[in-house]
Structure 1
Amino acid sequence: MTADRVAQLYRLYGPAIYARCQRILGDGAAAEDATQETFIRLLRLLEKAPDTQTGLLYIYRVATNFCLNQLRDARLRPEPVAELPDRPVSTSLEAALVDRDFAVRLLAQVPEKLRAVVWLHHVDGLDQGDVARTLDISRRTVVNRLAEFHARAERFSQRALA
């Protein structure tokens, strides 16, 4: 694969990768940086980059991992906030997950391996097979991680409502 091939992949998949980064990072400027960094990394990994058939999933995985690392690193740098988010007032997990602040706090509590699966499945709407291919894990691992996340979410919801 040549640098021209990476440029072709950028033209083909750049908007989709930018949208993915925007959804994860929630910031247009950070998403632009993440998209650019994703394709720079592809330049470094030219021999590993796949052909067009599987290119999007591979690039998607590189972008997802980069964005999740950015979020993790940002979480390690504490920033002062004016006020803490309120606890959810609902008693059911489904209603509590609608509360965006609750969801953000919940995702901050789970390990990154669970967070990646949850983002791809629940936020991006990928089915379990696509999540497995994107993260290069088995479908069974995806099922187990989703089950673990749901169990943690239930416990977190009960603590938040207590």
Structure 2
Amino acid sequence: RHPILGYVRMHTGTDWAAPSGTPIIATGNGIVEKAGWSGGYGKQTIIRHANGYETSYNHQSAFAKGIKPGVRVRQGQVIGYVGSTGLSTGAHLHYEMIVNGNKVDAMRVRLPTGRSLKSEELEAFNRERDRIDALLAEKDGNPLTLASADK
């Protein structure tokens, strides 16, 4: 039974309890499709990733600065903060994964794997990624400032 609505309905995500205001991070690189109010989900951010994957972050107390539709985000970047907006009985993150338009159990989905890069290949990849990101930021007219995990 839904604790607020009082009837049985499908629960399509994974709930992660956390104190209100806890930072929420993007689970992968992507583009923000939505950052706004969505009924029972409350404040919601949806990120479109490669290969038909999307992730949805719900019941947020607030969106992180600069998070809006069309913005590129990186894995690990703070996109919002845990809250209890919408149909919620307490502070938590309701996390959903959507694959090709279908909601799936994020705890069981088999994600595509990639090839590990050797040291020199990884350095070359990171340089090229940074170059492309700079070009995209110039095109969009909004310089992109990113933090690196190794700094």
Shorter-chain TM band? under 0.3
**TM-score with structure 1 length normalisation?**
0.24
Q: What TM-score does the superposition give when structure 2 sets the normalisation length?
A: 0.25
Kindly indicate whether structure 1 or structure 2 has the higher relative contact order, using CA contacts under 8 Å at least 6 residues apart: 2
- Which of the two has greater strand per residue? 2
Whose helix fraction is larger, Structure 1's or Structure 2's?
1
